[in-house]
Amino acid sequence: MKSDADDPHRNQPVLQRGRALDSAKGAVVLIHGRGASAEDILGLADEFGLPELAYLAPQAAEHTWYPYSFLEPLQQNQPWLDSALMMVAKTVHRAITAGIERDQIAIVGFSQGACLATEFVVRNAARYGGVIAFTGGLIGPPGTKFVYSGELLGTACFLGAGDRDPHVPWKRVEESASVLSALGGVVTLRRYPGLPHTINRDEIEHAKTILRRLIAKERAV
């Protein structure tokens, strides 16, 4: 049996807002950043203004998904990183078990949560309802050769960040967009001059465009 030291996020809660899963038109997994909380990231549900969806937000142990920068060697962030990826997988599985198809589930993250969102999706490539990374990218040190198998099969992806973010180099955001595209994602990449470490209105609008498709697809079935 794993201990908390081996799997630090294993007993963490998943908060929920919006529709109940069994009546929702789709699900949005919201992944918070370092030092923040599930309750914080659930505030995006109000910004999106799509009450037909279920919003699920896992809570990181000690308010961090992994202890060091996402640009450090992967082993430096273990076992926290693997535990965090398992937590995202469990949250996605919760929605699937409730009857929501994977292509009706969007993965959304900010900062450390955006890094985790992109990393989860490339490691578990499939057709998702969307991937939205607000200021983040794939995890690994500079010079990492990102090689993954699987297909995103046309998954809509949005990546946005400031051009000189203090935590997330623009080059890594570009690299991540290229990897998602190579896996078959339909990627929109936006660079915002002077944007501080936050989410702006244009990014919210891009996200809403993707999330609205979850509702439209369900209605068309």
pLDDT along the chain (221 residues), means of 10: 80 97 97 98 97 98 98 98 98 98 98 98 98 98 94 98 94 98 98 95 98 76 41
pLDDT in tens, 188-208: 999 999 999 999 999 999 999
**Per-residue pLDDT tens over the stretch 6-30:** 999 999 999 999 999 999 999 999 9
pTM of the model: 0.95
CATH code of residue 72: 3.40.50.1820
Q: Report yes or no on 153 lying in a domain.
A: yes
Does 2 reside within a domain?
no
Considering the chain, what percentage of its residues have pLDDT values greater than 90?
A: 94
**Is 60 a member of any domain?**
yes
On whether residue 4 sits in a domain, the answer given is no
Structural domain tally of the chain?
A: 1
Distance from chain centroid for Cα 172: 16
Residue 210 is assigned to a structural domain of this protein = yes
Whether 158 is covered by a domain: the verdict is yes
**30 in a domain, yes or no?**
yes
Domain extent for 108: 14-220
Asked whether residue 133 is domain-assigned, the answer is yes
H-assigned helices in the chain: 38-41, 43-48, 80-97, 112-123, 170-182, 201-220
Query: 3-state DSSP: the chain helix, strand, coil percent, rounded to 5?
Result: 40, 20, 45
